[in-house]
Amino acid sequence: MATNPQQTGALIKTARTQRGWSQTRLVSELRRAARRSGEALPADSSVKRRIASWENGHSTPEDFYATLLPAALGLSAAELGLNPAGGRDPSLLEVRYPPTPDEAITTVDQLWRADLHGYEPLLKSEPSEPAWSDASLRWLVAPEPTARTTDDSTGIKVGLADVAIIQSTSETFAMLDDRFGGGHARHSVIQYLSRDVAPLLNGRYTESVGRALFSAVAEATLLAGWMSYDACHHGLAQRYFLQALRFAQDGGDRRLAGSILSAMSHQATFLGHYAQAATLARAARMGISGVATPTLMAQFHAMEARALARTGDKRACEHALSEAARFLDGRNSADEPEWITYFDDAELAAEAAHSFRDVKRARQAVEHASNAMSGSHVRSDFFATMVLADAHLQAGDVDEACRTALDALDLGEQLRSARCVSYLREFRTALAPHAKTAPVRDLSEQAAEHRLWTAAGSRPAS
């Protein structure tokens, strides 16, 4: 992708002026960076003319200067709108499980900042299937986390009160995500993580505070991953899930780590990687077997069922759903982590409805989808209602399918969710053979003013 001269120029100028530097100072810093790499620059006047041309949007830095500018300004190429190495920033586009806590901190900080600056190669990146396997295996065989104490560093002092603030803020953003979709407050979440949380990760803290901090950041980064997934930034979402898993590992929070693998399974099913999705759900179960709670086990079995349904394995799917129901019946909310308590009978009914729809058992899908409306989780209720519409259509009841889809549109009027659009797009495709019937004509007329319906009728972004 070509660099945008105006955008890049504005970013370079902002970075320079925020440091209180003149263009002459930037020339000096570029020269210093060049010397460190064994290179030489032309005369100061020549370099200054280049800077003026960049900042005025008349040209973009060629590869040599695109390498020097990040070094001189202490920013990533993405933050300056630069695409070196043929339009790719390898440090950001590489997908891998961080081998150390320090690398996780560095990588997630770069991801947050690049995301904030709208770095398109990252936002449009595709997920890596091998990365799911690699991450789950590395987490499963990882040794107990080693103590990481930074009390002797020069960063800000971090205490448990700071950790509590992260947790409370994440809860607030999670409520917004649930009510309005990932596209609503995603940018605000990333901004909070980049500007408020990143300095804490690089701060001073004891071992116990560090563990609590990593766990809280894992949960917040998991939320960023879910919101990015809901916005269909799938490669970016996968990267956030990977970072969250590493933080959960270093925080010694195996339950949360299992939930992160479950989120990866959910995304893998959505993207059509069904065998991988089932494996991730099983890895989650295996990895927390010693500390599992009934609700977590129920969720992991439900995720496996969703994946198996897509493969067409009806028997294995039904067995996984049966196990999920058995575990959920034995739950004790007082013993469950707060972040998993949302997974209740309605949520399991929704997962079962998805699964029975996908194995073409319309009657059972209708039954479960009808029991999946919580009344308190807007996006989940939208998905369940759309599955109910799908199931009615499978059963041959076009009229009821259209009425139900209209109910879903009313539910989703405030949602900013690319996943919601994808559900509607699939429904519209299935509805196409009935396009000339009265119910479908009525639905098209009544739905015409709904934003999600209109979006579902347009070609999906490539």
Q: Does domain 5-88 have CATH number 3.60.70.12?
A: no
Task: With cut-offs at 50, 70 and 90, classify the pLDDT of residue 71.
Answer: confident
Where helices occur in 181-253 by DSSP H, the ranges are 182-192, 198-201, 207-230, 234-250
For residue 384, which of 398, 399, 368 has the smallest C-alpha distance? 368
Sign of dihedral through CA atoms 151, 153, 154, 156?
negative
Segment 121-175, tens digit of pLDDT: 889 999 999 999 999 999 999 887 765 666 666 678 999 999 999 999 999 999 9
Q: Which residues on neighbouring strands pair with residue 157, listed in sequence order?
A: 204
| Type of residue found at 337 | P
Judged by average pLDDT, the poorest of 165-169, 287-291, 307-311, 404-408 is 287-291
pLDDT at 7: 84
Q: Which of 375, 408, 371, 373 is nearest to 389 (CA)?
A: 408
Give the rounded percent of residues in the chain with a pLDDT score beyond 70.
94
Is the separation of the CB atoms in 296 and 259 below 8 Å? yes
Model pLDDT, residue 462: 46
User: Across-strand partners of 204?
Assistant: 157
Do the beta carbons of residue 379 and residue 185 sit within 8 Å?
no
Q: How many CB atoms lie within 10 A of CB 218?
A: 25
Structure tokens at 114: 């690049």
| Cα dihedral 357, 415, 380, 389 sign | negative
H or E element that contains 274 = helix 274-287
d(CA 117, CA 89): 14
Residue keyed to tokens 């950790």: 163
Q: Hey, where are the domains in the chain?
A: 5-88, 99-252, 253-343, 345-462
Q: Looking at 4-13, 77-86, 216-225, 252-261, which range is the least confident one?
A: 77-86
Q: What is the DSSP string of 405-451?
A: HHHHHHHTTT---HHHHHHHHHHHHHHGGGTTSHHHHHHHHHHTT-H
Rg (CA), the chain: 25
Burial 301-310 (b: 16+ CB within 10 A, else e): bbbbbbbbbb
Q: Which of 384, 293, 280, 299 is nearest to 342 (CA)?
A: 299
Predicted TM-score (pTM) of this structure? 0.82
DSSP helix/strand/coil, 204: strand
Which pLDDT tens digit goes with each residue over 217-266?
999 999 999 999 999 999 999 999 999 999 999 999 999 999 999 999 99
| Rounded Cα–Cα distance for residues 396 and 392 (Å) | 6
Distance in angstroms (rounded) separating the CA atoms of residues 374 and 360: 24
DSSP state of 193: I
Q: Tell whether domain 345-462 is in CATH 1.10.3470.
A: no
* Total length of the chain: 462
Handedness of CA 316, 319, 323, 328 (dihedral sign): positive
Q: At the top level of CATH, which class does the domain 253-343 belong to?
A: mainly alpha
Asked whether the domain spanning 345-462 has the same topology as the one spanning 253-343, the reply is yes
C-alpha dihedral (328, 334, 340, 341), degrees to nearest 10: 80
More confident residue, 290 or 154: 290
